[in-house]
Amino acid sequence: MVSDVNGVKLENYVTTKENLKVQLAAGEYTFEENTTPAGYDVVTTFTFTVDGTGQVTTTSTEAKTNGSILTVIDQAKKHDIEISKVGLGGEDIAGAQIEIRDTANQVVNKWTSNGAVQTISLLPGVYTFHEIATPTGYVKVTAITFAISKDGQVYILNGDGNKVASDQNTLTVVDEAVAKQVETPTGSFTIQKVDAVTNAVLEGAIFSVTGKVTETNSTVDSSTIDRELTRFNEETATLQAELETLQKAEKVDEALINEVQAELDLVNNKVASLFSSKKQISNQH
Ramachandran area for residue 21 (φ above 0: left; ψ -120 to 50: alpha; else beta): beta
List of domains in the chain: 2-72 (2.60.40.10), 79-174 (2.60.40.10), 181-285 (no CATH)
Q: How many CB atoms lie within 10 A of CB 210?
A: 4
User: How sure is the predictor about 98, in pLDDT bands with cuts at 50, 70 and 90?
Assistant: very high
d(CA 97, CA 246): 14
pLDDT at residue 226 is higher than 90: no
pLDDT tens figures, 24-54: 888 898 888 888 777 787 888 888 899 989 8
Q: What is the largest CA-CA distance in the chain?
A: 130
pLDDT at residue 202 is higher than 80: no
Q: Do 113 and 129 form a contact (C-beta atoms < 8 A)?
A: no
Ramachandran area for residue 177 (φ above 0: left; ψ -120 to 50: alpha; else beta): beta
DSSP-derived 3-state class of residue 12: coil
The dihedral built from the CA positions of residue 165, 171, 172 and 176, taken in this order, carries a sign that is: positive
Q: Do 117 and 81 form a contact (C-beta atoms < 8 A)?
A: no
d(CA 32, CA 4): 11
d(CA 252, CA 246): 7
pLDDT at position 186: 61
pLDDT tens figures, 103-117: 999 999 999 988 889
Ramachandran area for residue 228 (φ above 0: left; ψ -120 to 50: alpha; else beta): alpha
